[in-house]
Amino acid sequence: MASELQNLSNDLAAAVERASAGIVAVHARPRINSSGIVWRKNLILTSSEGVRFEEGIKVVLADGKIAEARLRGSDPGTDLALLEADTGAAAPMEFHDEANLKAGHLVLAVGRTASTGPIASFGVISGVSGAWKSWRNGKLDPFVRLDVSVYPTSSGGAAVDASGTLIGLVSTGLSRTSVLAVTKRTVERVAQKLLEHGYVGRGFLGIALQPVALPGDLKEKLKLDQETAVMLLGVEPNGPAASAGLLMGDILLHAGNSVITDADTLANALDAANVGQTVGFKVLRAGAVQDIQVRIGERPRKGK
């Protein structure tokens, strides 16, 4: 038994050592650093929660070298920020597919401090589920919660499995009660937009709405295969919906291939669309179904 525990201990230490080669300390807030992951050559992913100023950012690499960094973009909704810095010989870390993650799998949260080097904490994946929307209106897909005590300096670091394989970025900024892992699918969706635009534009129609139940006789007459939809209570003048000809009282049934049953399903459809993309909506108006093409706008950003 003692030898088995020692072997496990050695294996976990080796996993931390392998992972830490691609993890940097990020100095982008007062007093205490956070961590970051070398994502691509000269590009570092970190927690947006740990980036409190845009100038004077520095990163400490695994070899001890200090490099100045530039903020390329951030998305508080998914707690991701992208920095550009000279990462030297550090090999980028590869996010592995999240399809096989299960509650109960062992997990390590690995970060770095400028003074002590790699730091680690140990726990398990406590939950895995489908897409989840954060209180900052960003979407994680899938939702992966970690039962692990995380030091403030580990925020933005790597969540790795027992072999040292990267499964996600450690986030403490998306939930007031839980530590989450931002995994490959979310990173691929968000980080490229940060690289190209500096922010993540989210789809916008310019409407006020409420869910409505579809009457049974109308469903039968129009052969509608859904119980609920959303009705437009207001249409913002000159907004994307108004420009496409949508009117107060219209009932949205489909957006592209997505069935619209409530506000969440509409929000998911808009998240899946690109800003500027034209999406076909099926709309119930005056007892008949119409097809209306809507060019998706960009949700106004705070302070813009």
Q: What percent of the chain has pLDDT over 90?
A: 79
Query: Is residue 52 within 8 Å of 30, Cβ to Cβ?
Result: yes
Under CATH, what is the fold of the domain 2-197?
Thrombin, subunit H (2.40.10)
For domain 203-298, the CATH superfamily is: PDZ domain (2.30.42.10)
Q: What percent of the chain has pLDDT over 70?
A: 98
Pick from 94-98, 124-128, 138-142, 204-208: least confident: 138-142
Find the mean pLDDT for residues 201-222: 91
What is the model's pTM?
0.80
Question: Which pLDDT score is estimated for 253?
Answer: 97
SS3 of residue 97 by DSSP: coil
Among 245, 296, 299, residue whose Cα is nearest residue 273: 296
At 138, the pLDDT band (50, 70, 90 cuts) reads: confident
Question: Which pLDDT score is estimated for 1?
Answer: 62
Q: Cα separation of 199 and 48, whole Å?
A: 11
* 250-285 pLDDT, tens digit each: 999 999 999 999 988 898 888 778 888 999 999 999
Tell me the average pLDDT of the chain. Answer: 93
pLDDT at 238 over 80: yes
Q: Cα separation of 118 and 40, whole Å?
A: 20
Q: Cα separation of 209 and 224, whole Å?
A: 20
Question: Which pLDDT score is estimated for 301?
Answer: 67
* 163-200 pLDDT, tens digit each: 999 999 999 999 888 999 999 999 999 999 999 989 88
Structural domain boundaries in the chain: 2-197, 203-298
Which residue shows structure tokens 């808009």? 270
In this structure, what token pair is assigned to residue 118? 């790699």
DSSP 5: H
Pick from 98-102, 185-189, 216-220, 231-235: least confident: 216-220
